[in-house]
Structure 1
Amino acid sequence: MNKYFSLLAISIIVSGCQALAPDTQFPIDDTVAPDSTQTHAPVNDTANFSPETLVSLLTAEIAGQRDRFDIASDNYSQQAQLTADPGVAERAFRIAEYLGEEQRALDSAILWANAAPNDLEAQRSAAIQLAQAERYDEAMQYMEKVLLQNGDTQFDFLALSAAQSDPKTRAALLQSFDRLLVKRPNNPQLVFSKAILLHQDDRSQEALQLLERLPKKHATVTTILLRARLLSQLNRGAEALPVLSDALKQYPNENRLRITYARQLIELDRLEEARAEFLELLQQSPSDDDLRFSLALINMDLGAWLEAQVYLEELIIRGSHSDAAHYNLGQVLEKLQETEQALNAYNSVQSGANYLAAQQRVIALLLSNEQLSEATTHFELQRMVQADLAIQLYLIETEGLANYDHTETAWLRINQGLKQYPAEPSLLYTRAMIADKRNDLTQLEDDLRQIIDNDPNNAMALNALGYTLADRTERLEEARQLIEQAHQLEPNDAAITDSLGWVYFRLGDLDSAERLLREAYNGLPDAEIAAHLGEVLWFQGKRTEARRIWNQALKNQPNDATLLDTMQRLTQ
């Protein structure tokens, strides 16, 4: 279900937070309107400014009116340092922030906060600038002043800024939050912020317990979303549903909650209910094409092909998610057995992650309909149009041809590719696999050896050569050395572990073979691995278990040639 979205990313949790500071628009206004939680210090009476300062500030204002914000910033920053006037410092901060001058914005914000200790906006601005500069301890000191005066805080911003910092920094911040929570135990931002840092330290259970202790009347949308996320990550997603459902009753128009609720339903494979939620969301936000795309995918998972087609065609008409929409429309049309329309949809995918996947479907559809010349012509054209993807297109075409038993055409095509890209390892590897189909073990070994000579740690080539030698020759000791080298490089690769088990079987070490093949099968219950494990068990006299493993694999992969050959060879 992760193709829809990642569940409850922190960005969605805090996406509704208020802006950190009022936007600054130029020409520069004479004042910044205060809000109910702050008392802005006015610019000092001009009688207290020296003539030089007055000229500098006037020059700055005129420069700002004429879009020379560099001059305005220089002058205001300089005069803020000289006068320590809170109004001048604030103006210097606003201009520097607008221009993206990070260091100057930080310096000016600190000047402003120190000159106006009762101005909560000044304290907040200094805290945020310090957090952005990764000076978290100092940021906490300024934000604490806002908390103690019952102002609106941004502790969540500080915590999120520090979440990726080093463990020592996070530990110090956790101590600060603990100290403040003694004074304000039910402050939702403090609770949320501490939970974020606990989660980042892989202490998700503690973070969840902290959020669950927060009285319901103090819970906010952000704390509820984080609680639901933690429940899901702790494999308790079913418990997140009533939490989100209750929150929706309290905040019926909060789309972040409804989206999260719908996504949780998808995680729990309750697709019909999820579809209903997304339908309601789309009705509320008919221009939201992300919702429209999610509905298309949900309908595809439900097998509601016509409904999915409607949403995908809407996206195409609207020019949104075009390549992904065309690709998925191709899949839908295949299910509806509309082959020509499916081909048109796939051919409309022009770029992006879906382009190569679409080309794989194109060659499969053409070859399954015995349109060999159309397939080869199509890929010649695609390599001209998408020259930067020529290697990948050679691979897709060649592998498609080989899969549909056009082995000799595949052989011609892969050799054409290697003339153009003579040392490309992926092309060499594919030619080796086609050589295997042609029973040309000499060519297979030459190509794999060339890859290994150029890249001695290429585990895939080492394994392929070792397995071929183990399965098709009597060069078993050489095969074992190659596969063991691959296994050392990729000890958790089930295919390599399978090869190692198979070579030990060929060497007559049935106990080692069984151990390795069981490990491989547990990691990847593939039909070929099942065939190998079953054969080892068969020769050990464990024939009932061997049949059970074969039959289980046969249900999932009924046409696997290795499995069918093994069963026929040993049971008849």
Structure 2
Amino acid sequence: MRPRFSLSGPVLMGSTCSGFSLVSSMLRHSILLPVAASAVLLLSGCQSTPSPQDGPLGTWADDPMRNAPPITRGLDAAGLSTLLGAELAGQRGDYRYASQGYLEAANRYREPALAERATFAARFGNEASLIEASALRWRELAPQAEAPNRLLAAFSLQRGDWLDSLEQRIAIVEAGGHGDVTAFAEIAVAEEAPLTLIAQQLREHLAQPNADQLEHHSDVLLGTALIEAALGDTAVAQRRLDQVALLDPESAALWLVRARLALETEDYSAAQRAAQQGLELAPDDVRFILLLAQAEIRLNNISAAETQTNALLESHGGNQDLRLSLAQLYLEEGHPEPAQRLLQPLIGQPEVPNLAYYLLGAITQAQGDTDNALLYYRQVNEGDEFVPARAAAAKMLIEEDRLLDARAFLRIERMRFDSYFTELVMLEVQLLDETNQTEEANALLDREITRTPDDASLLYMRAMRRWEAGDIAGMEADLRQVLRTDPDNAEALNALGYTLADLNLPGRLQEAFELIERAYEADPDNPAVLDSMGWAYFRLGQPEEALPWLESAYTQIPDQEVAAHLAEVLQALGREEEARRLIEQIMQRTNLHPQIDDLLKRYPELTPQETP
């Protein structure tokens, strides 16, 4: 008997192979996990369906579905195949394929749950580009969902796109969620982010109607106050804190920012009171302990600070990380003795933290005991403190006019720690440069590259030194050597491509563009590559194409070099006023702006009116 199809317009309503309607129903209800199971039912059902040849009519002369309208709703064969493939890929641990499948399905069916599933699969597989693409689609399909914005905010922060991260956080706040703006501001201040641009974005949000009616308005106020305090706008920051005090006087975050602002304005008694108040509200928050200790130290109450911090350490079970942080604080504030007393209990432990040895080396060095300081520094094993410890030891010896001893020390360390060979060579080159031993530095670099001719980092370092010396051919030779062993080295591709584009060498612009394109394929999130791409487009006479690349680069690294490129493109597009405002921002932010100065020599009409 022939299979029966019931068609209503372009929608497949049912068939003897009824799994389609089952999966469509599941899709409508966002139940995605059982997709594979439903496929088994579907396939088994199809296997039991009689074939056309089994019926009395024999083989069909023509396909009865040839002129049927296309399926525009529900799952068609391609959609089902995509979902099944994604589900099975996830079960076998191929999260990249799973994420791609779910994302394709989300684009096809506009179902937020599919985009959500694509995002989580990408996170399991640690696929950065897929995480972002899936989260963007998720947010597009579910604008009120907090999770995709939160994920995009964290993702942007991870790659250093401060303004985009803040934009996602503000979107969360405007949707009624908690955007963690204060925590973001703390990181921004610590990491020397573009605070002026961040403050501008925060103020624009706060100026919006009804911004003060949002549930987490106080968090935005606190974050803004932190940024403004770091920029020196302490009076404005204080007014914001007064607003928060009216909204949420029991907020621990309020007292945290109050303490920091008081330290910034050198009101150490107020900082002490604020830290104590915060500690009462959040006794387990070590930040208040550190702020309280810092306030006591600034008040020169060293004995009181030690008594208090020792009691707090005891109440926290002798927390090792807290002990190290307090020791570091004492040392930074110029009090090595209490720092040493805090660190001594750690030395007898089976596993001494690297930071303890590093800090003890610094303390002993400050006490003038070079030999013991050297012993401490040498006990720092592989990890974050390894290279800083060797740098501190070598600089200490150089300061005592023992350059040969410093070089011998670094040479021995290269033999002891082969995995740090490259970093230690680069460190020695840097130290030789600092002591005006440029020829010795070049000789060292040449010698070590001869021994390790495929060391990409050393080759790149020499290439940059050759560029600074005006040896473009030598620079290109080194970068070409890097690319022979690592054709997808984004740093080398970008450096060579940008240099060729910037020099505007006859007949080599297209080559420069192709190199930068390869760099972008290898590292699409690198703002330096985005800047190079924009500059290459401009050199090729395509300012319209250049603009979005440079705008994106400037968002992530708002320095004077990218600003000069962006301003020149704006000028070429007839947007001189925007270029002038951009130049003015840079000149207000820093006194050193050679690229901007060079630009103004070529385009004096872009000079801001306020600038003499």
Question: What is the TM-score with the length of structure 2 in the denominator?
Answer: 0.46
Question: What is the TM-score with the length of structure 1 in the denominator?
Answer: 0.49
Q: Which has the larger radius of gyration?
A: 1
